[in-house]
Structure 1
Amino acid sequence: MTKISFGSHPYLLGFEQLERLVERTAKGSGDGYPPFNIEAVADNSYRITLAVAGFREEELVITVEDRQLVIRGRQVEDESGRVFLHRGIAARAFQRSFVLADGVEVAGAHMEHGLLHVDLHRVLPEAVVQTIPIRSGRTAEAAPPPVKRIEAK
């Protein structure tokens, strides 16, 4: 796999965080368990659905870590003494990670019929225009004038 480097291009100043995000996404689990869907529910609203049949709510943990949605599941060992002749239903631990774009927040989660639904909502940032004054003959002791912020409408 070719490593993408944003830092070497002169027009991409300050994109180190994006580079780390791409690397983290590329290192994501290639395991297909559990299967999931991602759907657009409405404008700026999304839903991630994971097939987690056999898991109870208390066996699932959902966290957001450094703009990354992480869903973990670990089933408690069955201590009832049942003897399985065939065990084909997956009961293994898993971790699924999804990188969240800037402005995307987790709105909530719920279980229904063996499916875990995680609702996401994109918060649109308010547009801000800044006017930067230009001065000539700047001296070291002169303090720069404040930047004027204009709220966009």
Structure 2
Amino acid sequence: MRTYDFSPLMRSTVGFDRIEQLFRGLERASADNNFPPYNIVKTDADHFRITMAVAGFTEDQLDVVTNQNTLKISGKSADEPENVDYLHRGLAARSFVQNFELAETIKVVGATMENGLLHIDLVREIPEELKPRAIEINKGKNKDKLIENKAA
């Protein structure tokens, strides 16, 4: 496993304690199996959709779970009948687990299944305290008043 030096990134950032963890997650994701195939689409500025091809799975065989900043999609395939003699087997019938790392402001709002495709809808919800706000610039003589107020 390669090690990376993140110090150039840290010079211009403040409070990004999780950045190395996120890069490690990306490294693991690129090495993981990409079954089943999926798309991630940005439908507008704050809405996203993950579409996963789950042909052969029913809604009962699929689980979509969010835990903190992780979305976990898993599928458990049904047991195959013993007396089937395949001449060609092109449809994968194996269980899977796919994990997606979500930003803190991304929420899963729903999941639907249609024509062998699992659609998971996501929305970006930015709390008021995280939205940009203007900071008033005070003149130098107000500095003493601010210090006095903090001490009181």
TM-score (norm 2): 0.75
1:51 alignment partner, one of 50, 53, 59: 53
In the alignment, is the contact (CA less than 8 A) between 1:6 and 1:12 conserved in 2?
Answer: no
- Please name the residue that 2:140 is paired with: none
Q: What do the CA deviations read for 1:33-87 (whole angstroms, capped 9, x no partner)? A: 1111111223311110000000111111111233121111110212474333332
Distance 2:90 2:11 in 1: 54
Q: Are the structure 2 counterparts of residues 44 and 73 from structure 1 closer, same or farther at C-alpha, using a change threshold of 3 Å?
A: same
Structure 2 residue matching 1:135: 3-state secondary structure: helix
Alpha-carbon distance in structure 1 between the residues aligned to 2:35 and 2:115: 18
* Cα pair distance change 1:11/1:38, threshold 3 Å: closer
Q: Sequence identity, in percent? A: 34
Please tell me the root mean square deviation across aligned C-alpha atoms, in Å.
Answer: 2.9
Instruction: Give the structure with the larger helix fraction.
Output: 2
Task: Provide the TM-score with structure 1 as the length reference.
Answer: 0.74
Q: 1-side partners of 2:111 and 2:20: how far apart?
A: 29
**1:34–1:50 contact (8 Å) kept in structure 2:** yes
1:15 maps to what in 2?
A: 16
Q: 1:123 aligns with which of 125, 135, 139?
A: 125
